[in-house]
Structure formats: C-alpha cells, structure tokens
Amino acid sequence: MNQQQRSQLLESQLRAFTEGSIENINEQWVFFDDETEEALLLDDYIHQEIEVYRHNRWKKGLLLKEGKIQTGASLIDLTNNDPVRIRKQLVYSLERLLEELNEDAFLHFITTLNSLQFSIYDCIYCYNHLTFLAQSEGKSGVNFIMFDNQEEIANVQHHFDYFDQQNDRFEFTLSSGRRTLIERIS
C-alpha cells in the first residue's frame, strides 16, 4: 500500500467532514454546522480543504478570503445557503502514529476500526509513545487512542515491539463491553 492508497483510505472514511451551509452576514461568511448548529466564521478555515455542492456534485478546493474557493485553475464564488463541507483534521499524534505503522498494520487497524462502526476521524484522544522514543534499532511500548462515534466509545491500546520483527497488537474495547484483538507480525 503506497502513500496515495493510504490517503485515499483516509479520505473515504465516514465523518471525515463537518457539513453545513454558509451565509454572508454583515459582510462576513458564516458557516452553520448541520450537526451542532454552531455558527462559525468561515475565515477560520482559510487555506483549508473545503467542498461546495454545485451542479449535483461536490467540488473540492482550497478556501480563500472573501468567499472564494480555488479549484485547480478556476475560482468558485460562494453564495448564500451553499451546502459546504470542511475536511476535519486528524489529531496530530494519531496522524504521526499512522505514518509510523507499516502497510499491513495500518490497513488492519483502519478496517477493524471501521468494522466496529468507528471512523479514524472519531478520535478524541491519542497518546503516541513512539514519538518519544529515540531513533534506535528496537522500540517497545504502548499507545492509547480513544474514539467517540456519538453512540459508543472505543478505547484502543496499541502494543508495539519493533526489534528483529515488527509486532503490532491492537486491543479494541468498546463501552458496550465488546472486545476485539488483532495482531500483526512482519
């Protein structure tokens, strides 16, 4: 699995976007979150990926000032009540952890998480012990990750031993009491 395939898997995750609509109020663009009904200034998302629904499809681009979206070589002007979605940012420590995982462990972790009805974007906390270990021949420890999909909480313990072989063991425990264990040795 190359970097592009990893990115595609992350992009296709459920709940990867905050969805809502926009309005121009007092010469400022305001984003209304469909889920929380919060109103936020769209300027808070300048230079982030945003999608606008036009002509029966989502058009992806980079949000610029004054209600404009850069899509390749063209600019789209936003209008009142446009449906928009803004890509959520991953928790930084989780993003670094995913980069450290080999392809097999990455794929099995994500697919198991998804099979339990969680998205990688449901992460509310991640302690990545790998970032604190010096670049050495062998590493061993545990990472802690918590997810909330609005119906259940999942706690994941990622036990790793990176010596002669790479051993990744993920223990998933849901608030319902359900437990799942996967282990990858390469």
pLDDT tens digit sequence for 37-62: 899 999 999 999 999 999 999 999 99
Helices of type H across 33-144: 92-100, 103-115
Same-domain check for residues 41 and 73: yes
Whether residues 80 and 138 fall in one domain: no
The region of weakest confidence among 1-10, 52-61, 120-129, 162-171 is 1-10
Residue 37 is part of which domain span?
A: 17-87
User: Residue 80, exposed/middle/buried by CB under 10 A (0-12, 13-18, 19+)?
Assistant: exposed
The overall average pLDDT reported for the chain is 94
Q: Is residue 3 part of a domain?
A: no
Count of the separate structural domains present in the chain:
2
Predicted confidence at residue 119, as pLDDT, reads: 97
Are 70 and 108 in the same domain? no
Radius of gyration of the chain (CA): 19
Long-range contacts of 74-77 (CB under 8 A, 24+ apart): 76/52
pLDDT at 3: 85
Q: Where residue 94 falls among pLDDT bands split at 50, 70, 90?
A: very high
Structure token pair of residue 151: 């119906």
Residues 34 and 56 in one domain: yes
Q: What is the mean pLDDT of residues 120-131?
A: 96
Distance separating alpha carbons of residues 9 and 39, to the nearest angstrom:
30
144 pLDDT band, cuts 50/70/90, is very high
Q: What are 70-88's pLDDT values in tens digits?
A: 998 899 999 999 999 999 9
Share of the chain above pLDDT 90, in %: 83
My answer on whether 122 and 153 are in the same domain is: yes
Asked if 158 and 147 touch (Cβ cutoff 8 Å), the reply is: no
